[in-house]
Amino acid sequence: MSIFTIVFAFLAFAGIIIAMQAVTAKPRQDLIAERLAQYRDHNLTLDEIELSLPFSERFIKPVLERLGSLLTARMAKNRQVVVQNKINLAGRPYGLTVNGFEVVKVIAGIVIALVALGLVGVMGVTSLPLKGAALGLGFVLGRFLPDVFLNNKIKGRQKELRLALP
């Protein structure tokens, strides 16, 4: 084979590739029109607004709020006021409400109870009463820890205020 045959074959192959790309290429949209379309006023429907929210705000947050309202419905009003005052003194960390705080306490109780049960299982305890005790102790500890967190936030904020005073 001569060098001319190889060059001609390469050019023919390149020509076929370029022709195929030209045939299958998508037409370019006008970039300016595309950018202007982003700023064009159009009213969003309620469904579009709801679907633009993240999943946590559309589903998880409302479910947790309903669970919190169910938990606080059985709580005495004066206890709700005390918890709300504590949350306010702590500076409403993470945007907590009374409902949200009660949900955090329940979730923390369940998580720590499961961790305690797992630790007991890893230690090789097979006694059912000991596993139940670990589960109960973990739940009580988990319900108590958010209160400790809130009290620490209150103390930290009070210390900040004292240091800021002249």
User: Could you read off the pLDDT of 42-84 as tens digits, one per residue?
Assistant: 676 777 777 778 888 888 888 888 988 888 898 899 999 999 9
pLDDT of residue 16: 86
Residues 6+ apart with CB under 8 A from 103: 64, 67, 68, 71
Query: By three-state DSSP, how is residue 96 classified?
Result: coil
Q: Give the CA distances from residue 144 to residues 90, 98, 105, 150, 151, in Å, rounded to whole numbers and listed in that order.
A: 17, 15, 7, 10, 11
The CB density around residue 81, as the number of other CB atoms within 10 Å, is 11
Whole-model pTM? 0.66
Q: Rounded to whole angstroms, how far apart are CA atoms 52 and 35?
A: 20
Is residue 122's pLDDT more than 70? yes
Residue 102: pLDDT band by 50, 70, 90 thresholds? very high
Dist. CA 84–CA 101, nearest whole Å? 9
Residue 4 pLDDT level (bands cut at 50, 70, 90): confident
- 9 versus 103: the higher-pLDDT residue is 103
Residue 114 has pLDDT above 70, yes or no: yes
- The residue that leads in pLDDT, 8 or 139, is 139
* pLDDT band at residue 19 under the 50/70/90 scheme: confident
